Amino acid sequence: MAAAKPKTKPVPERKTTAKPAARGALAKERVDAILKGLDEAYPNAVCALKHRSPWELLVATILSAQCTDVRVNMVTPELFRRFPTPAAMAKAGLPELEELIRTTGFFRNKAKSIQGAAKKIIAEFGGEVPETLAELITIPGAARKTTNVVLGVCFGKAEGVVVDTHVFRISRRLELAKSETAEKVEQELMQVLPRDRWISFSHQIIQHGRQVCDARKPKCDRCNLEPLCRSKDKTWRS
């Protein structure tokens, strides 16, 4: 007697637009398919840090280190109400700054950084956040991630790719990068992504990481990039 066919689990309904491309991890067709999928899933992705000026975004990004954007957005309204400009921040007392940003973690170092940034901007840049990578990178607290955020969001300049925890994790899952540090992952992404996508890619991937591609339990059954993903920690496969 023929063996009974094993029962198959019903496949969840989901919109799948990305199609498997060449097996090569960095094949142009595969990169294009990933970018197309991101455009379809997150056409309006923007920076989650609330800000009204380059100065506010610079401070918010410094505060976001080892902290969620949600928490930063809870802290910055009162911070900027009391110290709305670099000039005001430069004159603030460190204990008051520390208390205002305490819940963002590492508050002592962050207080020194944002006040140091204010003083640098006043002393060397006429009170305005500079618009070049070479200048921004000299500001206290402004490492590569911070400078890329400010340049991309406020000035529309693609000088690099923002690599936060979501971008680092998902870029490796999708095999767009394989390095072990954010700095090296950024360099890899700059090699495989079109320059005109450097800014939007990060916003889309960050949103994807928050909504679908979770660090511990990714929602692969809801992911329109799933056919393109060969990550070993997938929770569902088509």
Answer whether 227's CB lies under 8 Å from 238's CB. Answer: yes
* Mean pLDDT for the stretch of residues 46-68: 97
Query: Which pLDDT belongs to residue 21?
Result: 42
* Mean pLDDT for the stretch of residues 212-225: 96
28-46+160-228: CATH, from 3.40.50.1370, 3.10.129.10, 1.50.10.10, 1.10.1670.10: 1.10.1670.10
DSSP one-letter string for the chain: -PPPPPP-PPPPP---------SSTT-HHHHHHHHHHHHHH-TT----S--SSHHHHHHHHHHTTTS-HHHHHHHHHHHHHH--SHHHHHTS-HHHHHHHTGGGSSHHHHHHHHHHHHHHHHHHSTTS--SSHHHHTTSTT--HHHHHHHHHHHH---SS----HHHHHHHHHTTS---SSHHHHHHHHHHHS-GGGHHHHHHHHHHHHHHT--SSS--GGG-TTGGG---TT-S---
What share of the chain in percent tops pLDDT 90? 87
Catalytic residues: 145, 164
* Mean pLDDT for the stretch of residues 44-70: 97
Query: Which pLDDT belongs to residue 238?
Result: 81
Torsion angles phi and psi, residue 53, rounded to 5: -160, 165
Model confidence pLDDT, tens digit, residues 122-144: 999 999 999 999 999 999 999 99
| pTM, two decimal places | 0.86
- Is the pLDDT score of 1 beyond 60? no
Model confidence pLDDT, tens digit, residues 20-41: 444 445 789 999 999 999 999 9
User: Residue ranges of the domains in the chain?
Assistant: 28-46+160-228, 54-155
| Residue 89, C-beta contacts closer than 8 angstroms, at least 6 positions apart | 59, 83, 97, 114, 115, 117, 118
Query: Which pLDDT belongs to residue 23?
Result: 42
Architecture of domain 54-155: Orthogonal Bundle (1.10)
- Is the pLDDT score of 85 beyond 90? yes
* Mean pLDDT for the stretch of residues 54-59: 98
- Is the pLDDT score of 156 beyond 90? yes
Predicted confidence band at 44 (pLDDT cuts at 50, 70, 90)?
very high
Tokens coding 237:
């496969």
Model confidence pLDDT, tens digit, residues 177-207: 999 999 999 999 999 999 999 999 999 999 9
Query: Which pLDDT belongs to residue 2?
Result: 42
Answer whether 155's CB lies under 8 Å from 123's CB. Answer: no
Predicted confidence band at 237 (pLDDT cuts at 50, 70, 90)?
confident
Closest alpha carbon to 225 in 199, 190, 201: 201
